[in-house]
A and B are shown apart, each in its own frame.
Chain A
């Protein structure tokens, strides 16, 4: 592998300065994805700026009643945090549904959001891939794509975002804060990932050299009654083929508020706003849950081998919302 320079940053501004917006430099969090990509030649950074020692490892109350999660908080610590478990249970469940214990001990919140797709063409440097080498083509469209996107994809890229955590964060309107040499910035997670279009290599709104510092969870009482369900091809240690983060507030048999996001169906965690519009104010019954799923999935454009995902997501939405409605009725 390519020789690289390794630097350890002590503070945020120092980290940003060390990276110096150099396109050949990368921030190193837990390294659970970046180091793999360096070994396989997908990433060949000249410099790594290790941000694990930065004072961003806290989960603190935000001013408005929400939570501010530092970018270097590990997945394990996030999932174990008592307030997360109480107020945003789907987030804890999503994190625990991902990777393995060892990986969760290393992986960080900031790194999780910036992890790359596990599309087998992207990770194999002997194959074309528009995300890795713009303009080289997307073999997945005609090739292996049974776990590729059904929503929001384009003919240029049909890869899916692998995060579980991000699905729950998207459902809960999380906001990403970052630092750049020109000062701080913010982006709602829902707008954080760019549409695929014909530029699949451009993945987020982050300016060059930006370092994610926090992810803020706004207060969301509905999130206390939430759930994450992940379907994968083995019971553990596999990426989703479909997942749902859902929260439901039901009163008098009617949905007062809902949150719904899908994983493993698009290039980003997919907020199901069309489904939420159907749900809010509707009777909390399987019939309406299915109608909500259908409203969201009407935009699905499956490929020959991934059409099952439409059925899977519909069934998952109905199953998870039904469980939440049952719990609310108890």
Chain B
């Protein structure tokens, strides 16, 4: 590590903006005041497929306060023929009002702008849109003839060896299908943006996961100079992959341009369910073959997900097997099918979260077949190099996670037989699963200024989506500058600070800390001890693009071992998680306080994924049933017992920052650990999430 330390990094610090947040002083995108602000309300399609015949704007334009109605007949044309900063073309769901096609229920068809949000909403609800309806198809199932292998962010298919021959020769074979349902980000703060033109520049005050990212997309879409767009996003109430460029920013920019007034568009919770992405349901087939000693000889992991007819998104669930386990015959594939549904997108642990459910549950089934303890089976199958890439790991301390986790959880005392522990009406069981998530970085720039008053200001277009990034960067900068954290002010969330990577892919802190450290270290070298700093300060800029390119090719991942204990009442179908422990190997931990929060948050979501979360798509109408937070269940406090997260040492002397990222690895494997514990409690395998009471009731178990 090149970072000299004064000890800020690695010790617990409360959030630097914590007081502002709990007192309400921190303003979120939807509540920042602007003079002359007007409000837009989106109108969404009520049909699942078809064509817009008419938008009856006349009556609505006469309603109180209504200023304009934008729709495909009058909206400016956008450029969508580009590949954005994340290497993908824009989702046409965001590029609103470009044609008369309706590709799914809840598609944006118009924006009504009025003086008040109430007037806009009333008019939006009164707006009559007529459609030519076409039959829709929303059915996802294995073996769909129109499914096709798709790359997304990784190759669609990897294979080596003769899978069928190896499987045929194996002493133990598991061949099972798992499904995960449609899941939604359901972050606390809804998407909200205000757009305005100020002195020839477009300003957008937003809630997003990357000011650079959104500014870049808006500039391309509206054919503006990059320098003519400024996006700010200071506080963000959660994102989880959903807060990129969406219909609300684009429609707000259109309206602000048409009206030459500041326009705010805030999404309702119900609108978010069709406009802001989701995790696709998956159908996954896993085939594992092992010798009598439990060593894998054959591994196949196939995943199918749905995407919209307008945008291809791959939920690469089979990718996790390319990192976790090796076998002589090894085949993985990610397939998609295009349906009349909204576009899915990245959601916390994309690929790994659903993929680890299938793979790690299948591993538990293999352990049962082999008569080998599930922890031991994983230790025996811990590869030394990337199973597909052949590259060395930049640290793979999974075994240490399992050993430490097993010790703390009391795994050694476990009776491997299912259905043997009972406490009153509850059957008890324990389960485990492995976790991994890639550790990447995106090029970023940062500026660090030594101020004349002896303090320091860091400027970077980072996004704190609730992770504690602002605080983490304060600690990183303080150590690099060798000053106390209270002398460092970190300003983030402004595209004018220069390009920076997103808060996504568990890459934020690693990417930004790299840039901040580089600038801070250079600045420290420039400062003359005892020398005067001019009134404008001394500023040093950094850009990590070259350093990233020079990084050695390795398999870089965070790892973890998840343990769960559950109680199941098979007479009512209720499942309660009693305790959970996750032990992770995730590089250098910057702020143990917020790091623990992130990991526990991920594990909590794993509980939610295992037991509760499921968006139900209505066959007849093609939209969601119960698209609100009463209908879409996330775990409540009462569902979340003692959840402990901790970590083992995971140094990588060759890595310039040593930070791996902890945003996503916490959810990975968590649902599998819970599902495996449910099997241990009841003797019944639940291969379809969520493990709802009616499913448990129908499946029964040892206690019935």
Q: Which residues of A contact B (CB under 8 A)?
A: 1-3, 40-41, 118, 120-121, 123-124, 126-127, 139, 142-144, 146, 231-239, 241-242, 306, 308, 311-312, 315-316, 318-319
Alpha-carbon distance A280/B54, docked complex (angstroms):
65
B619 in contact with A236 (CB, 8 Å): no
B636 in contact with A234 (CB, 8 Å): yes
A233 in contact with B572 (CB, 8 Å): no
Could you say which residues of chain B place their CB within 8 Å of the CB of A127? Answer: 618, 621
Interface residues of A: mostly helix, strand, loop or mixed?
loop
B604 to chain A, nearest CB (A): 12
Q: Does B698 sit at the interface, judged by CB under 8 A?
A: yes
| 25 CB < 8 A contacts A-B | A118-B631, A127-B618, A139-B620, A139-B621, A143-B618, A144-B616, A144-B618, A144-B626, A231-B693, A233-B612, A233-B633, A233-B693, A234-B612, A234-B636, A234-B638, A237-B636, A241-B694, A242-B572, A308-B694, A311-B698, A312-B572, A312-B693, A312-B694, A315-B571, A318-B571
Q: Which of A2, A126, A146 contacts B694 (CB 8 A)?
A: A146
Are A126 and B46 also in contact (CB < 8 A) when A41-B125, A120-B625 are? yes
Q: Does B611 sit at the interface, judged by CB under 8 A?
A: yes
Q: Does B697 sit at the interface, judged by CB under 8 A?
A: yes
Q: Does B243 sit at the interface, judged by CB under 8 A?
A: no
B573 in contact with A231 (CB, 8 Å): yes
Q: Which of B125, B625, B628, B692 contacts A143 (CB 8 A)?
A: B625
Q: Given A143-B625, A231-B573, output 13 extra A-B contacts at Cβ < 8 Å.
A: A1-B121, A3-B122, A118-B631, A126-B621, A144-B616, A144-B625, A232-B693, A233-B692, A234-B633, A234-B639, A311-B698, A315-B571, A316-B572
B529 to chain A, nearest CB (A): 56
**CB-based closest 10 A-B pairs:** A120-B626, A236-B638, A235-B638, A315-B571, A308-B694, A144-B625, A236-B636, A120-B625, A126-B46, A235-B639
Q: Does B635 sit at the interface, judged by CB under 8 A?
A: yes
Alpha-carbon distance A228/B637, docked complex (angstroms):
21
B639 to chain A, nearest CB (A): 5
Query: Could you give, for residues 375-402 of chain B, a 1 whenever the CB lies within 8 Å of some chain A CB and a 0 otherwise?
Result: 0000000000000000000000000000
Alpha-carbon distance A47/B627, docked complex (angstroms):
28
Q: Does B546 sit at the interface, judged by CB under 8 A?
A: no
Could you say which residues of chain B place their CB within 8 Å of the CB of A318? Answer: 571
Residue with the highest number of chain A CB atoms closer than 10 Å, among B118, B616, B618, B625: B625
A235 in contact with B573 (CB, 8 Å): no
Q: Does B368 sit at the interface, judged by CB under 8 A?
A: no
B608 to chain A, nearest CB (A): 8
B interface residues, tally (CB under 8 Å): 37
Q: Does B25 sit at the interface, judged by CB under 8 A?
A: no
Alpha-carbon distance A118/B626, docked complex (angstroms):
9
B612 in contact with A311 (CB, 8 Å): no
Alpha-carbon distance A41/B46, docked complex (angstroms):
15
- Count of A-B contacts judged by CB separation below 8 Å: 95
Could you say which residues of chain B place their CB within 8 Å of the CB of A120? Answer: 625-627, 631
B567 to chain A, nearest CB (A): 11
Q: Does B100 sit at the interface, judged by CB under 8 A?
A: no
Smallest Cβ-Cβ distance to B626: which chain A residue: A120
Q: Which residues of B contact A (CB under 8 A)?
A: 46, 118, 121-122, 125, 270, 425, 571-574, 576, 611-612, 616, 618-621, 623, 625-628, 630-631, 633, 635-639, 692-694, 697-698
Q: Which of B46, B425, B618, B626 contacts A139 (CB 8 A)?
A: B618
Q: Which of B572, B612, B621, B628 contacts A315 (CB 8 A)?
A: B572
B639 in contact with A126 (CB, 8 Å): no
Could you say which residues of chain A place their CB within 8 Å of the CB of B698? Answer: 308, 311
B573 in contact with A312 (CB, 8 Å): yes
Smallest Cβ-Cβ distance to A127: which chain B residue: B621
Smallest Cβ-Cβ distance to B696: which chain A residue: A308
Alpha-carbon distance A144/B121, docked complex (angstroms):
28
Alpha-carbon distance A306/B573, docked complex (angstroms):
14
Could you say which residues of chain B place their CB within 8 Å of the CB of A308? Answer: 573, 693-694, 697-698
B425 in contact with A234 (CB, 8 Å): no
A234 in contact with B635 (CB, 8 Å): yes
Q: Which of A121, A232, A238, A319 contacts B571 (CB 8 A)?
A: A319
B671 to chain A, nearest CB (A): 15
B619 in contact with A143 (CB, 8 Å): yes
B616 in contact with A311 (CB, 8 Å): no
Q: Which of A1, A121, A239 contacts B122 (CB 8 A)?
A: A1
Alpha-carbon distance A152/B397, docked complex (angstroms):
59
A118 in contact with B693 (CB, 8 Å): no
Could you say which residues of chain A place their CB within 8 Å of the CB of B571? Answer: 315-316, 318-319
A323 to chain B, nearest CB (A): 9
Q: Which of B121, B574, B611 contacts A231 (CB 8 A)?
A: B574
Could you say which residues of chain A place their CB within 8 Å of the CB of B576? Answer: 235
B625 in contact with A241 (CB, 8 Å): no
Alpha-carbon distance A41/B121, docked complex (angstroms):
10
A121 in contact with B625 (CB, 8 Å): yes
Alpha-carbon distance A144/B632, docked complex (angstroms):
14
Smallest Cβ-Cβ distance to A232: which chain B residue: B693
A231 in contact with B618 (CB, 8 Å): no
Could you say which residues of chain B place their CB within 8 Å of the CB of A319? Answer: 425, 571-572
Alpha-carbon distance A95/B621, docked complex (angstroms):
35
B125 in contact with A311 (CB, 8 Å): no
Could you say which residues of chain B place their CB within 8 Å of the CB of A124? Answer: 625-627
A17 to chain B, nearest CB (A): 29
B633 in contact with A238 (CB, 8 Å): yes
Alpha-carbon distance A146/B573, docked complex (angstroms):
14
A309 to chain B, nearest CB (A): 8
A290 to chain B, nearest CB (A): 12
A311 in contact with B637 (CB, 8 Å): no
Alpha-carbon distance A120/B632, docked complex (angstroms):
11
Could you say which residues of chain B place their CB within 8 Å of the CB of A315? Answer: 571-572, 697
Could you say which residues of chain A place their CB within 8 Å of the CB of B625? Answer: 120-121, 124, 143-144
B268 to chain A, nearest CB (A): 8
A232 to chain B, nearest CB (A): 8
A190 to chain B, nearest CB (A): 26
B40 to chain A, nearest CB (A): 16
Could you say which residues of chain B place their CB within 8 Å of the CB of A144? Answer: 616, 618, 625-626
Smallest Cβ-Cβ distance to B117: which chain A residue: A1
Alpha-carbon distance A121/B341, docked complex (angstroms):
19
